[in-house]
Amino acid sequence: MRVFLQTLGCRLNEAELERWSRNCRKQGFVLADSAEHADLVVINTCAVTGESVRKSRQLIRRAQRGNPQAKLVVSGCYASLETEAIAAELGVDLVVTNPDKDRLIDIAVRHLDLAVMPETATEPGEHALLARGRHRAFVKVQDGCRYRCAFCIVTKARGDERSQSVAAVVDEVNRAHASGIQEVVLAGVHLGGYGSDIGCDLTTLIEAVLSQTAVPRVRLGSLEPWELTDAFWSLFDDPRLMPHLHLPLQSGADSVLRRMSRRCRSADFRELVRQARQAIPGFGITTDIIVGFPGETDAEWQQTVAFARAMPFSHIHVFAYSPRAGTRAAGMPDQLSHNVKRMRSRQMHALAQAGRRQILSRAVGQIFEVLIEGRSGGDAGWSGYTPNYLRVEIEGDTLADLDNRIIRVRATALSADGERLLARPL
């Protein structure tokens, strides 16, 4: 049985894909490299925006056209919100909603009468995605969210908060490390709410992972900025916890943040960034910004521009707002035109690029430990990421096999396009 797994969306979807791949191996299935060569296709959908829904439907239809003989299973947020429509309109073989997705492979085996050959399963400890060239693993530690941001459908799709036990997370991290994985990312829908349902918290989980595993690098997935305490920064005294956080800003205008029902204001966010960079010099901060939220005036937009310019961020994920049925924002007045959103998106992308180059320029001359994740392309040198998540291309000897190694380098210059550091091994 050949299985092809595909996902859209967040890091949590990536973590779920890794869990499914591991469960496939336990059942004796083989992971296919394309939908066309699979007996079973599993698609993990996204619904965070209208564009995400369109892409999810496109993936489903493409899989059906490319391999109509394969069984097709669909899960994820879009599948959970439009279960009946997907089954009726798109004609998939099985829809597994978010509450059941951790058991997706077992459910597919049972409902689709799949041929199971556990005697052919891989040896315990082999990480299912390592053969696909992965150097980091996404570990799902939490699902669901208690908050209701005006633009977000994911909280409805994911349901109530549910946390994995500390022991289960530690065990998964140790399995990934035993298979050769050098870096794990702890991911969740509402990562900062980890443990709210089991009498625990995120700090306790991080401390356990650092003390009970030996994986060289631990990263955190997206964290809401209102959930970090002053004591949180001391966790980064352990050099294995990578000094980088993705903190979604969404807007630099407090009036827009109120309409979004966000619980953080621009001054609070600014103080968090100050604390991070004071505690750990060079601390990497990446963020999300929504462009063209309903009612966003020119003055409000200029506040966001000024805020982003003052930070700056090492990366900004720019979202052009699109109405999502089922959210409060979709019914708000003063929806902005496509042209306004496109113009502002271009401006923010240019600002993001300038901020990234500013941060990269500051890093020239510094020494970093870089996890090598492959070649840049063609005959180019090896490349990877620093602890604070800056892209690095290694100059010099490109013949040695550096893949999946952590090496010390000195950053020597910026690349010609200004998008990454050039560095030489020490």
Print pLDDT tens along the chain (426 aa): 889 999 887 878 888 888 898 888 888 888 988 888 898 999 999 888 788 888 888 998 888 888 888 889 999 998 888 887 776 667 788 999 998 988 999 898 888 866 544 333 333 333 333 333 468 888 999 998 888 899 888 777 788 889 999 999 999 999 999 989 999 999 998 899 999 999 999 999 999 999 999 999 999 999 988 888 878 999 999 999 999 999 999 999 999 999 999 989 999 999 999 999 999 999 999 999 999 999 999 999 999 999 999 999 999 999 889 888 888 998 999 999 999 999 999 999 999 999 999 999 999 999 999 999 888 765 568 999 999 999 999 987 666 788 899 999 999 999 988 999 999 998
Helix (H) or strand (E) holding 421: strand 421-425
CB atoms closer than 10 angstroms to residue 127: 21
Whole-model pTM above 0.85?
A: no
Which domains does the chain possess?
Answer: 2-120 (3.40.50.12160), 134-242 (3.30.750.210), 367-425 (2.40.50)
Beta-carbon neighbour count of residue 3 at 10 Å?
Answer: 25
Other C-beta atoms lying within 10 Å of the C-beta of residue 416 = 8
Q: How far apart are CA 221 and CA 227, in angstroms?
A: 13
Residue 228: phi and psi, rounded to 5, are: -105, 125
Q: Are 225 and 247 in contact (CB under 8 A)?
A: yes
For 334, counting Cβ atoms within 10 Å of its Cβ (0-12 exposed, 13-18 middle, 19+ buried), the class is: exposed
Name the residue among 314, 310, 347, 281 with its Cα closest to residue 419.
Answer: 314
Tokens of 192: 């900062």
CB crowding 244-276: b at 16 or more within 10 Å, else e: bbbbbbbbbbbebbebbebebebeebeebbeeb
